[in-house]
A and B are shown apart, each in its own frame.
Chain A
Amino acid sequence: MSIQTQFTGSTSLKVTPFHKRTSVLNHSQEWRRWSGYLSATTYDLTHDVEYYSIRTKAALLDITPLHKYIIKGSDAGIFLDRLVTRNIKVCKIGQVMYTPWCDEDGKQIDDGTVQHLSENRFRLTSAEPNMEWLTHNAAGLEVDISEDSEVTASLALQGPSSRAILNEVADENIDQLKFFWLTERWIGDIPVTISRTGYTGDLGYELWTPKENALTLWDRLMEAGAPFGITPTGLHALDMARIEASLILLDVDYISAQHAAIDLRKSSPFELGLGWTVKLKKKDFIGRTALENDHRRGTEWQLRGIEIEWEPLETLYRKIGLPPQLPGMAWRTSTPLYSGNEQVGYATSGCWSPLLKKYIALAHLKTEYAKEGTPVQFEVKVEHFRKTTSARVVKTPFYNPERKRTCP
């Protein structure tokens, strides 16, 4: 039925070490830029299968373009603890922490994970390049920071079957690997760091290995994963899953303080629903004073989940003789939210959740409108005309399956 093609057009963008495989599998030939790399948006002609594989089988994603840094040296822990808002001193070897980091004004620069790989050795992942910021803040400390993005290939294996697949290929079972912990395993003769992390809010793992091993690892996973329904998955599906999981995305849901043109565009972690990551008991870290103020005084804005109600939306469309036109994939256009005639916020990304049968979005709301259950009006274009339809503030994550955290 399908014609086997290989993407042969030339590109000045970088390709990941998995490109030899992904380019052949990408039937849609749709790619998106990700940190200067070519990244598949959807392998299949439609992204549904990939979306459902995240939730019901196992999705395999090439996440190599993620920025990665190796931070080592006797002060590595101290350095990271000063850099980020979480308490890295309590991050044990083998543990992973999700954390934002801020500038001196407590405005968020980026967010990512800190992996405590071994004694005095960490990996930091980030959405944007952070080398300069890291180096700048390491002055005077016994730390060595190196760019890991070009050295390490990484894959995400996400979905309910992901554990079973890794158990098939790894030298030792990973049943007891807990949520946000990592372990070293051999897959065949390849050393792989496996962290129980991901960007889908589901049971899932991320795999890190020297890039020379990339193709062998891919092949081994695809082969062993076939009976478990392993599915190469692109960014369209991931974007829906991360919204269901209410995981924010830099440059979509917030702008890095590093390159926000105006102050108004900057956000504190307290405004992004990340207050829980700000450990004010820590003596000193970048942005602490400002963040303490935020904490004490409260912030003007809050990032929240909203649900756009079905019946009013259906009524709007029925009036013109159409069934509700739902977004087939995640959108990232800033969309106004009103209370009466006043604009009280804006949604930054949203999607129809096929799993929840709900139209959901992540939104910035003025604090007085951010309480769970608060009704707001969501702007929607119905056949070219702007209308508003009822939405309300709901608890996040929208989707949070038990299996994400449990061990068998």
Chain B
Amino acid sequence: MPVDRKYDAIVIGGGHNGLTTAAYLARDGKKVLLLERRHVLGGAAVTEEIFPGFKFSVCSYVVSLLKPNIIRDLQLSRFGLELVPLESTFTPLEGDYLIRCADNDLTRQELYRHSPNDAEAYNKFGQTMSQIGMAVRPILNTMAPDPTKLGFSGARTLMDLGRHFRSLGSDKFEQLAKLMTMSSADFLDEWFEFEPLKATMSASGIIGTFMGPKSPGSAYVMLHHYMGEIDGVFRAWGFQRGGTGAVSMAIARSAEHFGATIMTEADVSKIITRNGHATGVALENGDEFEAQVVVSGLDPKRTFLNLVDASDLPEDFIQSVKNFRIRGSSGKVNLALDGLPDFTCLPGDGPHLSGAISISPDFDYIEKAYDDAKHGSFSKRPYIDIVLPSVLDPDMSPPGKHVMSCFVQYAPYDITGGWDDSKREAFGDTVVNALARFAPNIKDIILHRQVLTPWDIENTFGLTEGNIFHGELALQQLFFLRPVVKWADYRTPVRKLYQCGSGTHPGGGITGAPGEMAAKKILKEWR
């Protein structure tokens, strides 16, 4: 227990972004206190041994966009960061399959088997997306320029971006415009013909949003995921040794190395203000801490509707926060397995088990899954994004046994009648049945099942409505609109109160970007 009551900065929430902000502030010599409500750090990027001997990346399960400069700045490799790339994406089908892997020749041969056109278009598509990603990516690395208040620096950033966009050339610019407006299904239809390929690719356009592949705007979300970068290679997903919690722990160790104090089981109940300035926080247990600067890593609704007194905020700001769309659309099923799943279409062990496994046979499948959710129930045949972390990292489970992470969409937060134990179990059964359709042995090898509904995600991890991104990644709430127009630069209407979570620009995923940029903004404004 730290005896100190006074700090330079207090960070609320030990998720990976909060930790990143704390580490950057501490690295600059600030006296930092980070407060985490739970007994473990990591927020949604957490590893927990839910069943003896089996470690689950309970919520967030892959790492794509963790910024390399953060890894270098915070010396994360030294503190245990070890990212392993997922080797393939496998889409099981009835009687056939689609697999894309690290080797270009193999992927091309496999695509050719299904569609010579797609085999040809695939590389061109990748190149186009990565060039567009390159042009858009600077936005992820800078404060979102806000055209509603064009000061000198804002104008310059916008001009820089303009230059990047111009460098794309007209055909790529056309693609970008389409990405900004179209549905992922329509966009992919222009490129490819093999349904399982399109459906699997479109899935990254719906993750964490309450949209279907045919909803306009979903194409942009797909691009957002394309901007992931590992070693200069775009769209490479990685897996952290020890689970995603180990990413958080590496950042936490770095923060402590730079001198930050980290307290767990410290539930902040209120941000204390005086004359419109944040001056500290109060905990649930009555303890109070003072600081010159308070930073919240929680989602905007938690921060502004729960922790800050409404009288400290402008009415229109509160309204905007209330309007911020944060509908949870996904659930998580984590399985402890006695062996490996055996897919009917590709039996036995093999490289197809060491990457992502996607239950996404066609657009209709996913769109119907969305239809169920629109009408207030979980998908009867859900889209599932599966990884078997123990195949890449044997430490995740006892030898010969495995852990399986299933990200499931859709599981709406607003389910008719509300979630309860029986609905949770029914949801778990549905997911297992959907898996069993392609890997029938799954039912015989389950040793333990953990099912997380959006309600569980909200209750346990503090994510409002169970939304994994602290707010949907939809165009109307990205860039200078995230989370609220005029307040997309990590500042808030309360002076000396900042925000650093996924609800801020550039959004969710294990990127560290909001945390890093918030810290940089805070340090710039420090006096």
Asked if B282 is at the interface of the complex by the 8 Å CB criterion, the answer is no
For the complex formed, measure the closest distance between the CB of A195 and the CB atoms of chain B, giving whole angstroms: 23
Contact indicator per residue, chain A 356-399, by CB within 8 Å of chain B (1) or not (0): 11100000000000000000000000000000000000000001
Judging by beta carbons under 8 Å apart, are B87 and A161 in contact?
no
- Which one of A1, A48, A326 lies within 8 Å of B102 (CB-CB)? A48
Report A-chain residues with C-beta under 8 Å of the C-beta of B234: 323
Which residues of A are in contact with B by a Cβ distance under 8 Å? 1, 45-46, 48-49, 52, 55-57, 160-161, 164, 168, 227-229, 310-311, 318, 321, 323-326, 352, 354-358, 399
CB-CB under 8 A for A399 and B77, given A229-B392, A323-B130:
yes
Kindly identify which residue among B68, B105, B130, B400 contacts A310, using a CB–CB cutoff of 8 Å.
Answer: B68
A48 to B395, CA, bound (A): 20
Contacts of B130 in A (CB 8 A): 323
Given known A45-B105, A56-B82, contact A228–B394 (CB-CB < 8 A): yes
Chain B residues whose CB sits within 8 angstroms of the CB of A228 once the complex forms: 394, 399
State in angstroms the CA–CA spacing of A356 and B73 once bound together.
Answer: 11
The 8 closest A-B pairs by CB, nearest first: A227-B399, A357-B68, A45-B103, A227-B400, A357-B71, A229-B394, A228-B394, A52-B84
Q: Does B362 contact A (CB under 8 A)?
A: no
Query: Given the interface contacts A57-B393, A326-B231, does A356 sit within 8 Å of B77 by beta carbon?
Result: yes
Closest beta carbon of chain A to B361's beta carbon, Å: 20
20 pairs, CB–CB < 8 Å, chain A vs chain B? A1-B352, A45-B103, A46-B102, A48-B85, A48-B102, A49-B87, A52-B84, A56-B82, A160-B241, A161-B394, A168-B399, A227-B394, A311-B69, A321-B131, A323-B232, A352-B231, A354-B83, A354-B85, A355-B82, A356-B71
Rounded to whole Å, the gap between the CB of A8 and the closest CB of chain B is 22
The complex places the Cα of A229 from the Cα of B87 at a distance, in Å, of 14
Contact among A168, A227, A310 for B72, CB-based, below 8 A:
A310
> In angstroms, how far is the closest chain A Cβ from the Cβ of B91?
14
**For the complex, what is the distance from the CA of A375 to the CA of B393, rounded to whole Å?**
38
Which residues of B are found within 8 Å of A321, using beta-carbon distances? 131, 134, 167
Q: Which of A168, A318, A355 contacts B77 (CB 8 A)?
A: A355
Shortest distance in angstroms between B356's beta carbon and chain A's nearest beta carbon? 15
Q: Which residue of A46, A57, A324, A325 contacts B394 across the interface (Cβ within 8 Å)?
A: A57
**Does B230 sit within 8 A of A, measured CB to CB?**
yes
Chain B contacts of A357 at CB under 8 A? 68, 71-72, 77, 231
Further pairs besides A45-B102, A56-B82, A324-B232: 9, Cβ < 8 Å: A46-B102, A48-B85, A49-B354, A227-B400, A229-B393, A310-B69, A311-B69, A354-B231, A399-B77
A257→B387 CA distance, assembly (Å):
52
Interface contact A160-B395, CB-CB below 8 Å: yes
A52 and B85: CB pair below 8 A? yes
Q: For residue A278, give the distance in angstroms from its CB to the closest CB of chain B.
A: 29
Given the complex of chains A and B, what is the CA–CA distance between A164 and B167 in angstroms?
Answer: 53
Q: Which of B80-101 contact A (CB under 8 A)?
A: 82-85, 87, 99
Do A354 and B77 have beta carbons less than 8 Å apart? no
Residues of B within 8 A of A45 (CB): 102-103, 105-106
Q: Which of B344-368 contact A (CB under 8 A)?
A: 346, 350-352, 354
Identity of the chain B residue whose Cβ is nearest the Cβ of A323 in the assembled complex: B232
Can you name the residue of chain B whose Cβ is closest to the Cβ of A28?
B103
List the A residue with the shortest CB-CB distance to B134: A323
Chain B 449-492 per-residue mask, 1 if CB under 8 angstroms from chain A, else 0: 00000000000000000000000000000000000000000000
A26 CB to closest chain B CB (Å) equals 15
Select from chain A the residue with minimum beta-carbon distance to B130. Answer: A323
Could you tell me the distance in whole angstroms from the C-beta of B159 to the nearest C-beta in chain A? 16
Residue among B131, B134, B231, B346 making CB contact with A1, cutoff 8 Å: B346
A132 CA to B399 CA, complexed, in Å: 48
Which listed residue (B72, B103, B352) contacts A358, Cβ 8 A? B72
Most buried by B among A160, A325, A354: A354
Q: How far is the CA of A354 from the CA of B105 in the complex (A)?
A: 22
Q: Which residue of B lies closest to A326 (CB)?
A: B232
Asked whether, in the complex, the Cβ of A1 is within 8 Å of the Cβ of B72, the reply is: no
Nearest chain B CB to A158 CB, angstrom units:
15
Specify which of B82, B103, B350, B392 is in contact with A46 (CB 8 Å cutoff).
B103
For B82, what are the chain A residues with a Cβ–Cβ distance below 8 Å?
55-56, 355
A1-B350, A229-B394 known; A56 and B72 CB under 8 Å? Answer: no
